[in-house]
A and B are shown apart, each in its own frame.
Chain A
């Protein structure tokens, strides 16, 4: 297999918890706690999990928008986890992000043309005329009329704003785009438009995606491979079909059984874990899932399971799963 576009090994993002008075360090939030991921060129890896599992922090730390506290990030063969800003700049062009809330991520005082031209200005690409042409081409690519360049973000609907957010991410012709819940804030009828747009752009431009989402139905539609996170760790990674139809980790199975289906009377047997996800500031020892796991044995409380390969491309971190 050719070298992956992105290879993440042992990624850690630990945030200190400080006391209010003396700012002493009194604990650590292990938001991301040893994550391994790979993304090939042109493929979509989905990162799924519930709130607090660390999927967004993982995505942002790969882009170094949040600084990782440990681990390795290799992009196109080069280790970038500890690059200083000057050496990181060329990689920032090649990796972009689309946020959940397109309104909060677009400057309301700038025209759409200004927002889309900003990446060219920052990276000193082209002159004013050239940039205007590039902006027009970007708008066309995401299905917006060229006049949109003269308008402001508030004049657009949620779906159109997300198109603008995607256009901005594409401005510098990245190889990897991280979508952080890119369709979660959109209405159902608009969600399909944006999903189709992102899939079309991927095919046309050869983009690799990391799609961060809590919506498993959306993930099943867009992903080639899926990584399931729970409390800062990846518990299962598998090709799409294996993940949805042959999940092996008890947490993945529970998550899938909790997804409501838009088919009356066809609800799956639920194995919903009781209680809520514990705080990442105080995760349980051993396997983080063991207090909610119906199958937990004594060992699960003592020892964190290492990922085991159960099939090609299918890894499961569970003591009870045999290869």
Chain B
């Protein structure tokens, strides 16, 4: 029976050649992004000086546990933080060379949905409950691309077909609450991609979905990305999702990127003890299983009580005396492989 099922299999291997390292400038370049939130008498260092690049056609996985600052990073890039947080980010967010941090809200709103879009974990909270799905897709198309209402409605149906929604004309007239969780997430992807943005930020896009629906959505995102050549910043806590979809991975811990590498080397030879501990602690589906799972002792420090040096030092089995005092620099250890660690693991 397995062989019979094998016959209907859609994709056997993952076509995931990383885009060739091109001399062209990255699409997105984030430099020294910080979000320090004053909560007297403390300062919460929610995002603490992070830098990364993202090229066209590439997926960068931003992985981290709760409180690591990954979602706030995305919200800062999108300029979607609300007051009083909206004035706090520092650093540069260069999209095709333009610093988004210096744009006015009016200028930014002409880019959002057109040059860059975002999809969220829970589609129901970001879809408009009193507007039909079709209008929600058509609206940015009219606004950004200047299409007529009729053309935009046609584009909406085309997008719904593209994201694999059956009977697009009917769904275009439906309100979001009538759709299942998976269909809502597809609708949100259709909205986000309707203007063919060059950058898509996906924040835990499949975390709220069942595993069979998750697989459909991840395949869909990968296919659309290949077709449109968009860059994707994929934010998730799920290392398995990262392994299957990202070209490169940046691991966040306590507001900083502690390691960044191509997906293959990150999983094969993690250099930062936190990354190594995280990978070791995931249970695997295998015939043999260990009696106990390797644990990372302790817990993530809160944003108000981070140690002076490396934030991971109190939980780290490889910590040296200096780790408690000095923040380790984000240093290259191999081509394309960086880690912020005074005593990195062997490659």
Contacts and interface: CB of A to CB of B under 8 A. Distances in A.
Nearest to A157: B299
B334 interface: no
A256 B211 CA distance: 9
Contacts of B183: 276
Contact of B284 (A157, A199, A217): A217
Contact of B237 (A188, A260, A263): A188
Contacts of A50: 210-213
B308 interface: no
B216 A261 contact: no
B16 A189 contact: no
Nearest to A51: B210
Nearest to B211: A258
Nearest to A321: B1
A260 B5 contact: no
Interface string A179-195: 00000000111111101
A275 B210 CA distance: 11
Contact of B285 (A187, A261, A270, A320): A261
Interface in B190-218: 210-216, 218
A30 B29 CA distance: 52
A220 interface: yes
Contacts of B65: 187-189
Contacts of B238: 260
Given A244-B285, A255-B211, A261-B244, A193 B295 contact: yes
Nearest to B63: A188
A192 B284 contact: no
Interface string A152-192: 00000111100000000000000000000000000111111
B277 interface: yes
B214 A276 contact: no
B212 A255 contact: yes
B296 A192 contact: yes
A189 B277 contact: yes
Contacts of B214: 258, 260
B331 interface: no
A187 B219 CA distance: 25
Nearest to B283: A221
Contacts of B94: none
A256 B286 CA distance: 12
Interface in A21-69: 50-51
Interface stretch (B7-15, B77-85, B121-129, B338-346): B7-15
A235 B88 CA distance: 53
Contacts of A220: 283-286, 289
A189 B277 CA distance: 8
B6 interface: yes
A295 B237 CA distance: 35
Contact of B264 (A157, A218, A256, A265): A265
B175 interface: no
B278 interface: yes
Given A267-B13, A267-B14, A272-B216, A262 B263 contact: no
Interface residues of B, number: 60
Given A260-B238, A270-B215, A221 B293 contact: yes
Contacts of B180: 276
Contacts of B49: none
B4 interface: yes
B1 A267 contact: no
Interface in B281-331: 281-287, 289, 291-297, 299-300
B210 A159 contact: no
Contacts of B5: 250, 253, 271, 294-295
A196 B285 contact: no
- In this complex, the member of A189, A199, A254 whose beta carbon has the largest number of chain B beta carbons within 10 angstroms is A189
B263 A264 contact: yes
Nearest to A320: B1
Nearest to B5: A271
Contacts of A309: none
B299 A196 contact: no
Contacts of A295: 1, 4-5
A251 to B, nearest CB: 9
A301 to B, nearest CB: 19
Contacts of A258: 211-212, 214-215
A261 B242 CA distance: 9
B181 interface: yes
Contact of B210 (A196, A244, A277): A277
Given A217-B283, A218-B283, A264-B243, A271 B1 contact: no
A215 B160 CA distance: 30
B212 A273 contact: yes
Interface-centre pick from B5, B12, B267, B297 (highest chain A CB count, 10 A)? B5
Interface of A: 50-51, 157-160, 187-193, 195-196, 199-200, 214, 216-218, 220-221, 241, 244-245, 248, 250, 253-265, 267, 269-277, 294-295, 320-321
Interface of B: 1-2, 4-6, 8-14, 16, 65-66, 166, 180-183, 210-216, 218-219, 237-244, 263-264, 267, 277-279, 281-287, 289, 291-297, 299-300
Given A51-B181, A272-B215, 10 more contacts: A188-B237, A192-B295, A196-B293, A214-B211, A248-B1, A259-B285, A267-B13, A269-B9, A271-B5, A271-B8
Among all A-B residue pairs, the 6 with the closest Cβ atoms? A221-B283, A260-B240, A50-B210, A192-B281, A258-B215, A187-B65
13 contacts: A50-B211, A158-B66, A160-B299, A189-B295, A192-B283, A214-B210, A217-B284, A257-B215, A261-B284, A262-B242, A262-B243, A270-B215, A271-B9
